[in-house]
Amino acid sequence: MDNLFIYLKRKLHNKTLLNTNIHCRLKQNESIQYLFRFSPCYDGIDMMMHVISYNKYIREKEQCIKISHFGKIENIVYDLILSQLTHLSTGTVIIIGTRIDDEPIPTIDLVEISINQNQQGYNLDECPVCKLPWITTYSPVLLKCEHRLCVECLMGVVRNHGNSCPVCREVFI
């Protein structure tokens, strides 16, 4: 387990994604920042993740992405953050802090992580939703996007009217 996952587990355990904000900045250049905000989706099923990037403290780009909130919050946020920071080179150090509801922007209790592109692969030893090792779950199901889910988690996604991979959001139905 890496520092980011341990930090998220400690900060987000038993919390909800709703109104959660994750602030990130580069250690080497603090004017390059990212903000991940989570809010309800208009369809009542999914949630929205807003990814805002700043360059020289100026808002540069904003994306709104529909996401599934089926799973443990720390697993969801961990995978989403890493999936959005893949453009950063290995060795880049990021400072991350969390803010829930109306808390102030985080300045203490931050975590420092180093991007390691080799560790960002999915489905290496465990289901990306329940995080159980493949040897303790039912046979993994390979989706057309090449990600694997255990049968129980795949059925949970389908039961909750989901039709996309919880890792990359590619539609599988």
**Any idea where the domains of the chain sit in the sequence?**
3-121, 122-173
Q: What is the pLDDT of residues 43-64, one digit of tens each?
A: 878 889 999 999 999 999 999 9
**How many other CB atoms are found less than 10 A from the CB of residue 59?**
11
Q: 122-173 has which fold?
A: Herpes Virus-1 (3.30.40)
Q: What is the pLDDT of residue 45?
A: 83
The type of residue at 144 is K
Q: What is the pLDDT of residues 100-152, one digit of tens each?
A: 877 888 888 888 888 765 544 445 567 888 877 766 656 678 888 778 888 88
By the 8 A CB rule, do 48 and 64 touch?
yes
* Average pLDDT of the chain, as a whole number: 83
**For the purposes of burial, counting CB atoms within 10 Å of the CB of 33, is it exposed (0-12), middle (13-18) or buried (19 or more)?**
buried
Q: What is the pTM of this model?
A: 0.64
